[in-house]
């Protein structure tokens, strides 16, 4: 262990499924259009996965380790932020640990909905700064396509699947997450829910399909206020103003929320990373995915001061100030991969479409035989 405990982000990695679902694709199975969806959300497409949350998280973690130049054996802790683990017990982080071969790592899941990755980053950073661990993997991975209710036109287009990871490690130089704020907006718990997802006896009906309950107006109001308050808190902690921020990487839930938040902060959209058009809302994966996009596009420079903010069901909120280190190019590139799904997205989602009474048989390429 080093004598002074700071943290830095030394590597990033991501995975998005190859099966893209455009707004035009959705218009083939429901009463909608590209213009209707884009004007309300900023979304053009999303990706749906044929593999589990754990599998996507594993590959994003492999890629993060490679870019950091860190061996899996050197990782002390793995935290998976997710709302969609394939199992509640044992945790999915332990699956990722075993597949990585991270034999020395502790592993646990953290669920605060869309804020899960940021809460996990905050938790792991505090553990590095305390000296209890040296290196950690922080993963956000979601397979939200399984939670889509195709009878709910107003919300079924909002979400996509994917995973993003970062490696954080102890350093003598100040960096990484400098200040973080986690909060929960009072009396907003019911505005965003997966009511059939959990261990209540009332849920044990044998129906494995879950349906999102969604109050868009209440979410918008609470999210903008909650994130604004959290941002004010971390800026004050670091003695900064919006003018000191080089780049803003917000949760990618809705372009209107992002624009409203930027306007409220008097923050120019030119400095805001927007990836919702490509990925839709990937919940816990959205911020690491957007961060990876910004790195690939050359928007992240050494020494940058980066602001992030997020919200999720609960209604949980958070914000953080990240000091970027020197690494903007990968130390190495992983050769690991996931086999591609053989078929179209309509083949992939066939069972879900059938359950909700969506007529997509004419779009299938796979026969039952």
Which residues are annotated as catalytic? 114, 251, 281
Extract the tokens encoding 275.
């990836």
d(CA 17, CA 49): 5
d(CA 297, CA 316): 30
Extract the tokens encoding 46.
């999303």
CB 6 within 8 A of CB 127: no
118-129 burial, b if ≥16 CB within 10 A, otherwise e?
bbbbbbbbebbb
d(CA 149, CA 151): 5
d(CA 114, CA 142): 9
d(CA 19, CA 122): 32
Torsions phi, psi of 199, nearest 5?
-105, 10
Extract the tokens encoding 352.
């879900």
């Amino acid at each position: 262990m080093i004598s002074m405990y700071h943290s830095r982000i030394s590597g990033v990695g991501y995975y998005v499924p190859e099966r893209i679902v455009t707004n035009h694709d959705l218009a083939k199975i429901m009463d909608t259009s590209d213009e209707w969806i884009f004007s309300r959300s900023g979304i053009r497409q999303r990706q749906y996965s044929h593999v589990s949350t754990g599998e996507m998280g594993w590959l994003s973690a492999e890629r993060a380790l490679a870019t950091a130049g860190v061996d899996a054996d050197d990782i002390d802790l793995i935290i998976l932020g997710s709302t969609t683990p394939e199992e509640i017990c044992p945790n999915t982080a332990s699956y990722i640990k075993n597949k990585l071969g991270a034999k020395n790592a502790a592993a646990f899941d953290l669920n605060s909905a869309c804020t899960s990755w940021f809460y996990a980053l905050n938790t792991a950073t505090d553990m590095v700064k305390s000296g209890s661990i040296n290196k950690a993997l922080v993963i956000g991975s979601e397979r939200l396509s399984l939670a889509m209710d195709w009878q709910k036109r107003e919300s079924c287009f909002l979400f996509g699947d994917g995973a993003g990871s970062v490696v954080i490690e102890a350093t003598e130089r100040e960096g990484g997450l400098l200040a973080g704020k986690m909060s929960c907006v009072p009396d907003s718990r019911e505005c965003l829910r997966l009511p059939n997802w959990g261990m209540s006896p009332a849920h044990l009906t044998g129906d494995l399909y879950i349906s999102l309950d969604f109050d868009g107006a209440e979410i918008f109001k609470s999210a903008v206020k909650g994130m604004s308050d959290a941002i004010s808190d971390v800026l004050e902690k670091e003695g900064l103003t919006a003018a000191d921020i080089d780049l803003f990487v917000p949760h990618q839930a809705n372009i209107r929320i992002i624009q409203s938040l930027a306007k409220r902060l008097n923050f120019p959209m030119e400095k805001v990373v927007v990836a919702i058009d490509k990925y839709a809302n990937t919940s816990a994966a959205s911020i690491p995915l957007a961060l990876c996009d910004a790195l690939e596009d050359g928007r992240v420079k050494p020494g940058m001061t980066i602001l992030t903010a997020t919200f999720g069901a609960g209604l949980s909120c958070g914000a953080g100030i990240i000091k970027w280190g020197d690494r903007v190019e990968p130390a190495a590139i992983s050769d690991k991969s996931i086999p591609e799904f053989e078929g179209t997205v309509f083949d992939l989602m066939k069972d879900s479409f059938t359950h909700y009474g969506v007529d997509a048989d004419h779009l299938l390429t796979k026969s039952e035989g």
